[in-house]
Structure 1
Amino acid sequence: MSIGTESAVAPLPEHLSARELLSTGQRRFSLAALGFVLGSVLLWAVTGYGVSALAWAQIGVIAMTACYVLVIGYRVFLVLLAPRAVEPVGTEIPDDELPSYAVLVPLHREEAVLPSLLAHLDALRYPVGKLHVLLLVEEDDSTTRSALAGHDLGPQYEIVVVPEGGPRTKPNACNAGLARVTAEHCVIFDAEDRPEPDQLRKAAAAFAHHPPEVACLQAELAYWNPWTNWLTRMFAGEYALNFRLTLLGLDRLDLPIPLGGTSNHLRTSALRELGGWDPHNVTEDADLGIRIARRGWQVRMLDSVTLEEANSRTGNWIRQRSRWIKGHLQTWLVHMRHPRRLLAELGWRRFASFHLTFAVSNLTVLCTPVFWALSCWYLLDGPSRIEPLYPGPVLYAGVVVMLLGNLATIYLFIVACMVRPGLHRAVPAMLTIPLYWALMSVAAIRAVTQLARPKRRHYWELTAHGLVLDADTAR
């Protein structure tokens, strides 16, 4: 069932690998910064000069308040730019002129969703002779391999066994598949994905329309089961905000786009030149989007939708989200090993967007419980004890930011539900955004904890699929 032979992939430069959490320079800078803060506090305690612990706490409160303003303001700005961002490409390419296409599908204990997956892959409207579907299965995953043996696979399919020895991650499996790809373009689909049947044709037409500098096309991701429960409604609203609005704003401004984990259509030659995916990064997709931007290439949004299964169980959702946050922090640390080089390659606009997307936004999620706790303390105990931490102007600014920020976030989620077809019934659920943010903070704390533990740093927490039946989506 194999078409083509193995091809070489350029090695990923070590300074762009997440194998190590911090570089030597980052460790030295972190220790120097910590030493400076502690030294200034000690100096103040002994001599009265320097900066007190309370002053540092006030600086932290002011800085975090500014971070919240930046993140929310930036998101509103991107949403305002989104409506005119995508230009649909309607050109239909004849079958004999279509480029060859490879579909990479990493599988790990996914026997429950195999029938649905194969049905949607079979439904792809693309010439079989130009299609190469690689089903990537871990060597010790006998369950999935046995389940595949029970299906009558067409000539476009190849089962690729991912050998043991490397990190047990999705990007490691994708790299094993990439070595087998000879097609001009390739795309990643997850096990639970339901891509539009003509998505590959749309991508082929878009690649032909765009200049060679466009190395990747990101299709829109949405959920087919938003009505399962409250969690899936919130998740669907978040995806609508991200893929229907925020990423389109990034596209319009030509800013780095953090790729979603699936439906990334890539020029195979560009992907090989970049060194494939980082097997040690648990959000290899987002990292790849930044590496594309650093090379001076572009990611554009594709006018096509892939449906996925929204997480309907809280524990499963937290494990998945903590992996995403952990990977975004990994990505930020990796690319900040040489800040001046990163600035030179991205330019000021992209450099600022990178920080807002990967660092500042996750920092606000991580710190949200602290500010909620301080607010409760203020309400229960009065202003006397907390007033030293919050000087008058800072307190009033913080209250305004909290109120307007939450209202703005709720408004953005409501707008996203209104622009995503069929999601308007989820609008009432968006009023409970603070509860959803609390879950996000739990995931963020879990992510940071795992990053601090070397044995869990690259651990890929598997997301269970097949938890929802199609009948549940009608509720």
Structure 2
Amino acid sequence: MTVTRAETPVTLSPELSASKLLSRGQAIGGAAVVLAVAVLLTLSATVGFGPSPLWWGQFAVAAVTVVYVAVIAFKLAMVFRAGGAPVLRFEPDDLRAIPDTDLATYTILVPLYREASVLPYLVGRLSALDYPPDKVQILLLIEEDDTETRSALEAMELAAQFEVVLIPDSAPKTKPKACNVGLTRAVGEFCVIYDAEDRPEPDQLRKAALAFRLLPERVVCVQAELHYWNPWTNWLTRCFAAEYATNFSLSLRGLDRHRLAIPLGGTSNHFRVDALRELGGWDPYNVTEDADLGIRIARRGWDVRMMVSVTEEEANSRLGNWVRQRSRWIKGYIQTWLVHSRHPLRVWRELGTKRAVAMHLTLGFSTFTTLVNPFFWALFVSYLITGPRYLEPFFPRLSLYAGLATMILGNVLMCYCLMNGCMERGLHRAVRAMLTVPLYWGLMSVAAYKAVFQLLRPSKRHFWELTEHGLVSHES
């Protein structure tokens, strides 16, 4: 086992980094809009000039309804259009088309932090990958202050392809920073990220290597599917597994079919190393560095393709652990959306209209609906208790009918999508649990507000909340 220390390279342009929450233009523009609305409301209240507060309320309700309709329609379109996606599929015989001697070298990046309990399982799975050992470099990326994991590694006998890389103990302490350090040590033509609890299919590297051999150079990333190996632990894991099944087996395939920007999963994304370095690696300040990298790939004019090969992960079975993980994901989605909204016209030119709209619907508007859900649920409960007297002025007939249709039909259709995801992945026993999934969406709103509060606190803005693994037996 080799232990090395490395420094983090700084190669990403500051304007593409989430090191700052808002750009100067965003801060000035946002302040100007808030000031303008405040002035108009003041003038209306004092001298009767301009739109009334009631008009502003009606406008807000109508605007939010439009966003809801757009987001739901987009999600439904991606799910129901997934069937014709040209997803990469390989049979076992296909994988022998490239002799072992001609296979490209591969680097596996494994960022670890306080994962001593799962190390034996991780090392065993990585050692069992069906790829020539002399063509694989496995970099275990360990934080310098993580004495627990370092001690566990010292007690293990690792094969020659394993190398321990110590990550400098400096801010920000994030997974993407560790991956950037690993990228400086990578010797492979291709690389992939695996998390501590991952169970990749043994032939996944061969599939990705063959995919890159067959695909044009502009395809710089191949994303495998992520699914959970413990969906039956409890209600939370059933919902989580259904969500992942719908996302990776349907939604992302729909994005692939229409060549839209794909927000990558946090693991099992295979890259051309030279392209990854040209992109500047990962943003160390973005806590969903995977989604951000997917957008940057699209902005460069390159492509991501989906591949049929499954990596199994452990679904969070404890509520607090789930909220911490989900709030980090939502925080990162907001960061990513803000970064790629700094220069709207430039992004529109680079992505094109279809991709740019899809990016906003996927990252920004979808998160916005998660944040406003509690307000509309509260309005609905208020209507049931007090009747229409107080709320009717804010809901003109068109907004009322559109809102009711969105709430009822939209929820039913989204539940149906999750049921489809369950059927696609053979999670038949989880289908009934989807009838209660609005409760799961309520938990998402809790996580979303936690994410917003952290973004507003500079000390928590780039804080990486650790997800605890090993909560369920690895023999499950």
User: The TM-score by the shorter chain falls in which range?
Assistant: over 0.9
Q: Which residue of 2 aligns with 1:326?
A: 331
Structure 2 residue 65 is matched with structure 1 residue 65: yes
Whole-Å Cα distance in 2 between the matches of residues 152 and 227 of structure 1? Answer: 34
Whole-Å Cα distance in 1 between the matches of residues 19 and 161 of structure 2? Answer: 35
Return the letter of the residue paired with 1:83. G
Whole-Å Cα distance in 2 between the matches of residues 5 and 101 of structure 1? Answer: 21
Q: Which residue of 2 aligns with 1:359?
A: 364
1:47 deviates by 2.0
Q: Is the 8 A contact 1:6 1:181 kept in 2?
A: no
Return the letter of the residue paired with 1:28. I
Structure 2 residue 459 is matched with structure 1 residue 458: no
Q: Which residue of 2 aligns with 1:293?
A: 298
Whole-Å Cα distance in 2 between the matches of residues 29 and 194 of structure 1? Answer: 46
Structure 2 residue 152 is matched with structure 1 residue 147: yes
1:468 to 466, 469, 472: 472
1:53 deviates by 2.2
Q: Which moved more, 1:162-171 or 1:229-238?
A: 162-171
Q: Deviations over 1:191-242 (max 9, x none)?
A: 0000000000000000001000001011000000000000000000000000
TM-score normalized by the length of structure 2: 0.97
Q: Is the 8 A contact 1:331 1:358 kept in 2?
A: yes
Structure 2 residue 449 is matched with structure 1 residue 449: no
Change (3 A) 1:5 1:267: farther
Trace 1:198-209 onto structure 2 (pairs within 5 A): 198-209=203-214
Q: Is the 8 A contact 2:224 2:269 kept in 1?
A: yes
Which aligned segments of 4 or more residues in structure 1 are displaced greater than 4 angstroms?
1-10
Q: Is the 8 A contact 2:6 2:168 kept in 1?
A: no
Return the letter of the residue paired with 1:223. Y
Change (3 A) 1:348 1:399: same
Fraction of identical pairs, as percent: 58
Q: Which residue of 1 aligns with 2:40?
A: 40
Structure 2 residue 267 is matched with structure 1 residue 262: yes
Whole-Å Cα distance in 1 between the matches of residues 150 and 474 of structure 2? Answer: 25
Change (3 A) 1:87 1:174: closer
Whole-Å Cα distance in 2 between the matches of residues 149 and 67 of structure 1? Answer: 53
Return the letter of the residue paired with 2:403. G
1:402 to 404, 407, 416: 407
1:52 deviates by 2.1
Whole-Å Cα distance in 2 between the matches of residues 310 and 165 of structure 1? Answer: 30
Q: Which residue of 1 aligns with 2:25?
A: 25
Q: Which residue of 2 aligns with 1:346?
A: 351
Q: Which residue of 1 aligns with 2:440?
A: 436
Q: Which moved more, 1:33-42 or 1:187-196?
A: 33-42
Return the letter of the residue paired with 2:432. P
Q: Equivalent residue of 2:466, what SS? A: coil
Q: Deviations over 1:256-281 (max 9, x none)?
A: 00000000100000000011100000
Structure 2 residue 248 is matched with structure 1 residue 243: yes
Q: Which residue of 2 aligns with 1:197?
A: 202
Whole-Å Cα distance in 2 between the matches of residues 292 and 282 of structure 1? Answer: 17
Q: Is the 8 A contact 1:5 1:182 kept in 2?
A: no
Change (3 A) 1:55 1:143: same
Return the letter of the residue paired with 1:340. L
Q: Is the 8 A contact 2:142 2:166 kept in 1?
A: yes
Trace 1:33-112 onto structure 2 (pairs within 5 A): 33-85=33-85, 86-90=87-91, 91-92=94-95, 93-112=98-117
Q: Which residue of 1 aligns with 2:12?
A: 12
Change (3 A) 1:8 1:396: closer
Change (3 A) 1:42 1:6: closer
Q: Equivalent residue of 1:186, what SS? A: strand
Q: Is the 8 A contact 1:3 1:132 kept in 2?
A: no
Whole-Å Cα distance in 1 between the matches of residues 403 and 344 of structure 2? Answer: 31
Q: Which moved more, 1:132-141 or 1:81-90?
A: 81-90
Trace 1:97-136 onto structure 2 (pairs within 5 A): 97-136=102-141
Q: Is the 8 A contact 1:9 1:275 kept in 2?
A: no
Q: Equivalent residue of 1:384, what SS? A: coil
TM-score normalized by the length of structure 1: 0.97
Change (3 A) 1:109 1:60: same
Structure 2 residue 196 is matched with structure 1 residue 187: no
Q: Which residue of 1 aligns with 2:342?
A: 337
1:431 deviates by 0.6
Q: Is the 8 A contact 1:5 1:181 kept in 2?
A: no
Q: Which moved more, 1:68-77 or 1:194-203?
A: 68-77
Matched residue count: 471
Q: Deviations over 1:125-165 (max 9, x none)?
A: 11111000000000000000001111110000000000112
Return the letter of the residue paired with 1:35. L
Q: Equivalent residue of 1:388, what SS? A: helix
Whole-Å Cα distance in 2 between the matches of residues 456 and 3 of structure 1? Answer: 31
Q: Is the 8 A contact 1:101 1:131 kept in 2?
A: yes
Whole-Å Cα distance in 2 between the matches of residues 8 and 109 of structure 1? Answer: 20
Structure 2 residue 383 is matched with structure 1 residue 378: yes
Q: Is the 8 A contact 1:132 1:157 kept in 2?
A: yes
Whole-Å Cα distance in 1 between the matches of residues 386 and 139 of structure 2? Answer: 61
**Structure 2 segments unaligned to the other structure (5+ residues):** none
Q: Is the 8 A contact 1:2 1:156 kept in 2?
A: no
Change (3 A) 1:136 1:5: closer
Whole-Å Cα distance in 1 between the matches of residues 291 and 153 of structure 2? Answer: 30
Return the letter of the residue paired with 1:434. P
Return the letter of the residue paired with 2:361. L
1:5 deviates by 12
Whole-Å Cα distance in 2 between the matches of residues 291 and 12 of structure 1? Answer: 11
1:80 deviates by 1.6
Q: Equivalent residue of 2:81, what SS? A: helix
Return the letter of the residue paired with 1:464. E
Whole-Å Cα distance in 1 between the matches of residues 298 and 338 of structure 2? Answer: 16
Whole-Å Cα distance in 1 between the matches of residues 383 and 6 of structure 2? Answer: 64
Q: Is the 8 A contact 1:104 1:133 kept in 2?
A: yes
